[in-house]
A and B are shown apart, each in its own frame.
Chain A
Amino acid sequence: MHQQVPILKIDDFWIASVQGSLHDQDVIEFKQALLSKIMQPKSRGLIIDLTVLDVVDSFVTKTLIDIRGLAKLMGIPVIIAGMSPAVAITLVEMGLSLEGVDTALNLQKGLDKLRNAGKER
């Protein structure tokens, strides 16, 4: 059973809300889908919303870092939004602090950040 991660577009920003727990294959497909979206012309940013994701292990972390790295090459800012305290504590304890990855408390704040970043440029 594969889970689809809906990827929505607001203005020129892509928003992906990860639901429940993902199998490794889902994570790989999710990454491919995201990359193909942000490669479209006029893409101005990407928010990955983790609000309802209960476990983030090193595999998911690596995927997030990869996505951010590829997006950066294309000049697209990426924001991780809505991470839960339990997941944040676990990641930090594992030594995975996602240095350099931009974060926001929720989807709205993530969107505000992207819009502000756009204005400054």
Chain B
Amino acid sequence: MLERESSIENEFDIVAARRGAKEVANELGFSTVDQVRIATAISELARNVVLYARMGSIVVRPFCEGGQQGLEIVVADKGPGIPNVELAMTDGYSTSGGLGAGLPGARRLMDTFRIDSQLGQGTTITARKWKA
């Protein structure tokens, strides 16, 4: 199976996670541009885990739906949760002094993007990219 799970605890894991995702995307036959899109999205999501939740996990796996192949990313943490998801998805909004492009950027790089967040419980983000 091409599924990969990695735990995210520090900035070194960010690089490892995006490298892993790029490898899976490459093996699945995604184009170079799509591989970079996926790796960049992972980088953004993993950094959010380190910044806001301290630790979490990333699962990257292939999926098939309606005869179409794709890649699914699930990023989960048990951090404080996102108080206002809509605000967090707004371009330029950041509580960490960043560009505020992480979440909205990652959403635009993927085809589907879902945030499940509960205050004090944690956040799970599920994102998918179809193979063109």
Q: Do the two chains touch directly in the complex (Cβ atoms below 8 Å apart)?
A: yes
> What is the bound-complex CA distance between A57 and B14, given in angstroms?
11
Partner of A21, one of B18, B33, B104: B18
Chain A's nearest CB lies how many Å from the CB of B108? Answer: 5
Chain B residues contacting A59 (CB-CB under 8 Å) are 43, 47, 98
Q: Which one of B12, B35, B91, B101 contacts A86 once the chains associate, using CB atoms below 8 Å?
A: B35
Q: CA separation between A96 and B104, bound complex, in Å?
A: 11
| Residue from the list B15, B22, B104 in contact with A95, Cβ < 8 A | B104
Chain A residues, Cβ within 8 Å of B108: 93-95
Best-surrounded residue of B19, B22, B98, B105 (most CB of chain A within 10 A): B105
Q: Do the beta carbons of A58 and B12 come within 8 Å of each other?
A: no
Q: B33 touching A96 by the CB < 8 A rule?
A: no
Query: What mask results when residues 14 to 44 of chain B are scored 1 for a CB within 8 Å of chain A, else 0?
Result: 1100110010000000001101110110011
Residue of A nearest to B106 (CB): A94
Is chain B's interface secondary structure helix, strand, loop, or mixed overall?
helix
Across the interface, name the chain A residue whose C-beta is closest to B50: A24
Q: Choose one: B12, B33, B98; the contact of A62 (CB below 8 Å).
A: B98
Distance in Å from the Cβ of B128 to the closest Cβ of chain A?
16
Proximity string of chain A (40-71) to chain B, C-beta cutoff 8 Å, 1 when within and 0 when not: 00000000000000111111011001000000
B39, A54: Cβ atoms under 8 Å? yes
The interface bits of chain A over 77-92 (1 if a CB of B lies within 8 angstroms of the residue's CB, else 0) are 0000000111101100
Asked if residues B33 and A90 are in contact (CB atoms below 8 Å), the reply is yes
Partner of A90, one of B12, B36, B104: B36
Given A24-B14, A54-B39, also A86-B33 (CB < 8 A): yes
**Nearest 6 pairs of A and B residues by beta carbon:** A94-B105, A57-B43, A86-B36, A24-B11, A58-B101, A86-B33
**CB within 8 Å of A: which residues of B?**
11-12, 14-15, 18-19, 22, 32-33, 35-37, 39-40, 43-44, 47, 91, 98-99, 101-102, 104-106, 108-109
Which residues from chain A sit less than 8 Å from chain B, CB to CB? 21-25, 54-59, 61-62, 65, 84-87, 89-90, 93-96
